Chains A and B, each alone.
Chain A
Amino acid sequence: MTQPSVPSTTYELRGITKRFPGVVANDDVHLTIRTGEVLCLVGENGAGKSTLMNVLYGLYKADEGELHIDGRPSVFHSPADAIAAGIGMVHQHFMLVPNFSVAENVVLGAEPMGRAGTLDIDRARAMVREVSDRYHLNLDPDAVVEELPVGVRQRVEIVKVLLRDAKVIVFDEPTAVLTPSEILEFFEIVRTLVRAGRGVVFITHKLKEALEIGDRINVLRRGKVVGDADPATATEAVIAEMMVGRPVQLTVTKGAAAPGTAVLDVQGLSVVDPDGRTVVDDVSFVVRAGEIVGVAGVQGNGQTELVEALSGLRRAASGRILLDGRDVTGDSPRERHAAGMGHIPEDRQRQGLVTDLTITENLVLTRYHDDEFSSGISMRWDDARTVAADLVARYDIRTPDPEQAASTLSGGNQQKVIVARELSRDIRLALAAQPTRGVDVGSIEYIHARIVEERDSGTAVLIVSTELDEVMALADRVVVMYRGRIVADLDPRTVSHMDVGLYMAGSRPGAPAEAAGAGARGAATAR
């Protein structure tokens, strides 16, 4: 690799304090970022990681504190200043134009001009190709962004930042949206970047990842840096304790399941998407009272559609869904709620919550029409508020006031609102899709415990997660989905992670395998 080496630079944040009305988001934070290494910034949601990086990126102005670049004090008034000083940012939610090509997206805002001021798309293509080759990003400049899987879109963002000549690239929760195989590819890219002399700041709350990729780890809690950890010697438990401020249970403790009668009986269910593709293909399984069944699989293999069909948000093309022996295949979501189905949807901001409504309103979002909260069309908000206050306390939802908008909550607390709403009802079946995606360690522990508790009280639980660890830890039985079919029904106590991984990739342990990579690609195109 012959590449111009990046001049080594040190960025130093000294005593940064940033206050928002009612909270101190950053409290006298000191942080050093160097080129040529990976700095992991870990902390729970709401610990101030993103605020700190937004200060660094010139989006927020710090109330106190200074920024020094190679020892010289500097001030960023806007992201433009930060970019000029060599700082690049890849946000958690990508800033891409979906129906533009990769090359068009990459040059957006800094378009190379041809004669007469026209866009020189050939040069844009060449630029993408050059950066892509140098860092092994494997990008097609002409691909349209909306057709690309999330992992590839992220690489488009990386190229954007690299073309603006960033010395340090800040990634805000980059792996939250990635599949396990994409995460591995992403780490490879990070290592390549660092070898080329660039610096990487990796914001995450996944400790395993921080330990794997970090050269240094800084832990934030409640706006303060509470400690440093050396990835070579630190353990997840130690860092988790620093993050949360108390010892954390990282594994799920649960007794043996005592399965009862079948609550959910899915018979030959198929779902066809609007483009006419069969995304769920003749799926049959049973979930019994008092057991947790986990659905493992790489994202995009039909799990989303399966859950939507079960909850009534999507029509089944064929097959039957029985709830407590009653056919609910044609029932509306409302009728299924009434029949005892609780649903924690996979995307809390898009589906699970109306973030502009208050926490109270969100806590009754699926039950406002119950006699408990309304008579006829007249809402009884006082009763709703009483119940909400009780749920906020019982489910440890951290908010000063349940009358605030749900958008003021951190991701973990937003998820707790949904969990509280769905599990506090008298339900027979709990559908939980990605119940802990983007949720901090403390909340994960809590949500897992609640789900196990729900099982022990005799509820049938179906967990869908792309985090294999989560499925293996929680489930009493694991089924694997691949290209819309259930390809395995396994006992997590006897099967190895490796073998489940092989099923997820579409091959069969011990059999002459289809390459794992082909499985991941298949998954990507199946989206």
Chain B
Amino acid sequence: MTETLKALRYTALAVVAALFVSAFIIVITDIAALREGDVLTALDTLRLAYWSLFKGSFGSLRAISATITGATPLMLAGLAVSVAFKAGLFNIGATGQMLAGGMTGLWVGFALDVPGPIHVTLALVAGALGGAVFGAIPGVLKARTGAHEVITTIMLNSIAGFLTLWLLKTEAFKREGRDDAISKLIDEDAKLPRLFWFMGTRIDLQAHLGFVVALACVAVFWWLLNRTTTGFELRATGLNQEAARYAGMRTRSLMVVAMTLAGAFAGLAGASEVLGLYGFASASLAGDIGFDAIAVALLGRSTPVGTAVSAILFGALQAGGRQMQVNTDVPIDLIIVLRALIVMFIAAPLLVKAMYRLKGEAQSHGQTFRGWGG
């Protein structure tokens, strides 16, 4: 438990350090004020910026809803990266897996004609399956031929992107009366219910039940890792593949299992975006989420709870960043800088240790894959 606390402390300190550096950036980029020599105004901009960041992420029900909306796909895609990390694999393919899951979920969402709750459940399952199949491909390739998953997942991202674009132009998916790559709308009963349905039909409360799905997946991931033989095998393989093989574990099959699971999580991320947020699909469905998910997993040290918490943090930054941009002249791009800084400080525990003069051995707390070999 103390290990966990120590790791948590490093993570928290990294976030604080990143906020501090960002503050510096906000002040020195407030050119208008600084040119006048008006440091106080610049500092006030900073105060307002960080206040807006907070207000926009947790300050109201609307803000919380925005945070949750942003966090939902990040959490699911973050799990997709985390589960692969745990098995010693680097899954850069969350984007592609999201597209695959988004499209299969979408199809079930508009093509099937079944009653309400069953429909949305089926659509989610289809999303998970679509992602799982797409995620399994790099796993099988690695197990069979040794092809490195970093290369194959990157290429599969492109394949998924163009495949989606093509599908969206086919008669089966294309929305009638539209020439651009935009899909049909899903059936009303395939939609994921709003999380704050009891607040009436307020248009600004976009958070949907996908968040609950994500939390359930976090629980499943935790249970899998800590309470099952498969999870034990995944962890052992990720930490020492040679020893896992010695212990009789089928390490090649485990690669496929890990990537299939990863794909299922990412597929759910895609499906929950389609079924919960958009109601249709476009080629930009996955956005940058697949890549941000890597940062989420790193920040969360690939643990279930860590991944969940860092996804919420990233969702909050995104939501708060929009508010910040509205209230001040600080562009939302600062959020990208802030996130980059957080990842940088996580990746460089020695730096954090030196800054805070912490005692004890510094070690990287972000478990990643082990090199390019094998």
Q: Which one, A121-129, A239-247, A347-355, is touching chain B?
A: A347-355
Given contacts A350-B240, A354-B239, A377 and B248 within 8 Å (CB-CB) = no
B230 within 8 A of A: yes
Chain A residues near B229 (CB-CB < 8 A): 368-369, 374, 377-379
A376 to B234 CA separation, bound complex (whole angstroms): 16
A323-339 vs B, Cβ < 8 Å mask (1 yes, 0 no) = 00000000011100100
B236 and A354 within 8 A (CB)? yes
CB-based nearest A residue for B1: A403
Partner of A345, one of B232, B246, B360: B246
Residue of B229, B235, B239, B246 with most chain A CB atoms under a 10 A cut-off? B246
B227 and A381 within 8 A (CB)? yes
Chain B residues near A361 (CB-CB < 8 A): 232, 236
A343 within 8 A of B: yes
CB-based nearest A residue for B228: A377
B247 within 8 A of A: yes
B230 and A354 within 8 A (CB)? no
A357 and B242 within 8 A (CB)? no
B239 and A356 within 8 A (CB)? yes
Task: Give the distance to chain B from A419, nearest Cβ to Cβ, in Å.
Answer: 15
A400 within 8 A of B: no
A377 to B236 CA separation, bound complex (whole angstroms): 15
Given contacts A354-B236, A357-B236, A368-B232, A333 and B227 within 8 Å (CB-CB) = no
A294 to B250 CA separation, bound complex (whole angstroms): 30
Pairs A–B under 8 Å by Cβ, sample size 8:
A311-B246, A313-B246, A334-B248, A354-B244, A361-B236, A365-B247, A366-B247, A379-B232
A21 within 8 A of B: yes
Task: Give the distance to chain B from A346, nearest Cβ to Cβ, in Å.
Answer: 11
CB-based nearest A residue for B2: A21
A108 to B228 CA separation, bound complex (whole angstroms): 47
In residues 316-368 of chain B, which contact A (Cβ within 8 Å)?
Answer: 360
Chain A residues near B246 (CB-CB < 8 A): 311, 313, 333, 343, 345, 351-352, 366
Residues of B within 8 A of A (CB): 226-232, 235-236, 239-240, 242-250, 360
B239 and A357 within 8 A (CB)? yes
A332 to B249 CA separation, bound complex (whole angstroms): 10
**Contact residue range for chain A?**
20 to 34
Other A-B pairs beyond A366-B247, A379-B227, 11, CB < 8 Å: A311-B246, A313-B246, A352-B246, A354-B239, A355-B239, A356-B240, A365-B247, A366-B246, A369-B229, A378-B228, A379-B229
Task: Give the distance to chain B from A521, nearest Cβ to Cβ, in Å.
Answer: 29
A378 and B242 within 8 A (CB)? no
A457 to B231 CA separation, bound complex (whole angstroms): 36
Chain B residues near A345 (CB-CB < 8 A): 246
A379 and B360 within 8 A (CB)? no
Chain B residues near A356 (CB-CB < 8 A): 239-240
CB-based nearest B residue for A377: B228
B243 and A377 within 8 A (CB)? no
Compute the total of residue contacts between A and B using a CB distance below 8 Å: 65
CB-based nearest A residue for B233: A368
Closest 6 CB pairs of A and B: A334-B248, A333-B248, A354-B240, A351-B246, A377-B228, A365-B247
A313 to B247 CA separation, bound complex (whole angstroms): 10
A351 to B246 CA separation, bound complex (whole angstroms): 6
Task: Give the distance to chain B from A314, nearest Cβ to Cβ, in Å.
Answer: 11
CB-based nearest A residue for B248: A334
A377 to B246 CA separation, bound complex (whole angstroms): 20
Partner of A21, one of B227, B231, B240, B360: B360
CB-based nearest B residue for A332: B248
A377 to B234 CA separation, bound complex (whole angstroms): 13
Residue of B229, B230, B360 with most chain A CB atoms under a 10 A cut-off? B229
A378 and B227 within 8 A (CB)? yes
CB-based nearest B residue for A343: B246
Task: Give the distance to chain A from B146, nearest Cβ to Cβ, in Å.
Answer: 13
A356-385 vs B, Cβ < 8 Å mask (1 yes, 0 no) = 110001000110110000100111010000
CB-based nearest A residue for B249: A334
B240 and A355 within 8 A (CB)? yes
Task: Give the distance to chain A from B367, nearest Cβ to Cβ, in Å.
Answer: 9
Task: Give the distance to chain A from B293, nearest Cβ to Cβ, in Å.
Answer: 24
Given contacts A313-B245, A343-B246, A357-B235, A379 and B228 within 8 Å (CB-CB) = yes
A350 and B243 within 8 A (CB)? yes
A311 to B242 CA separation, bound complex (whole angstroms): 13
Chain A residues near B249 (CB-CB < 8 A): 334
Chain A residues near B245 (CB-CB < 8 A): 313, 333
A355 to B242 CA separation, bound complex (whole angstroms): 12
A374 to B246 CA separation, bound complex (whole angstroms): 20
CB-based nearest B residue for A334: B248
Partner of A354, one of B226, B228, B243, B248: B243
Task: Give the distance to chain B from A304, nearest Cβ to Cβ, in Å.
Answer: 13
In residues 14-73 of chain A, which contact B (Cβ within 8 Å)?
Answer: 21
Chain B residues near A381 (CB-CB < 8 A): 226-227
Chain B residues near A353 (CB-CB < 8 A): 240, 243
A312 to B243 CA separation, bound complex (whole angstroms): 13
A334 to B226 CA separation, bound complex (whole angstroms): 22
Task: Give the distance to chain B from A339, nearest Cβ to Cβ, in Å.
Answer: 12
Task: Give the distance to chain A from B161, nearest Cβ to Cβ, in Å.
Answer: 35
A378 to B360 CA separation, bound complex (whole angstroms): 36
A350 and B242 within 8 A (CB)? yes
Chain B residues near A365 (CB-CB < 8 A): 236, 243, 247
